[in-house]
């Protein structure tokens, strides 16, 4: 039997959720995790970094390029 079963379903009246799968073993205990679909919206990497303590070291790609250019120039010195 597979370890994980992913099913998308709709909440029925009364807050009920029905899961039907013939491969589920009758009488065996299973774990059920319910995640609200709107909670699965992906956030961009920039949004995540903006929420991090200290934020980002660089504000723009030009800032990164400038630092890299200076660093490469120091190698030749």
List, for residues 28-50, the tens digit of each pLDDT value. Answer: 998 888 888 775 567 778 777 77
Which pLDDT score is estimated for 49? 74
Closest to 49 measured CA to CA, from 35, 59, 34? 59
Local structure of 16: helix, strand or coil: strand
Token reading at 19: 């899961």
Q: How far apart are CA 52 and CA 49, in angstroms?
A: 5
In this structure, are residues 1 and 23 in contact, taking their beta carbons and an 8 Å threshold?
yes
**pLDDT value at position 40?**
56
Nearest of 35, 36, 12, 32 to residue 21 by alpha carbon: 32
């Amino acid at each position: 039997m597979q370890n994980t079963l992913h099913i998308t379903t709709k909440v029925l009246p009364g807050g009920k959720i029905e899961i039907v799968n013939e491969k589920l073993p009758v009488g065996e205990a299973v774990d059920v995790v319910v995640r609200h679909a709107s909670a699965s919206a992906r956030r961009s990497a920039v949004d995540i970094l903006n929420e991090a303590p200290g934020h980002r070291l660089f504000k723009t790609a030009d800032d990164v390029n400038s630092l890299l250019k200076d660093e490469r120039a120091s190698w030749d010195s």
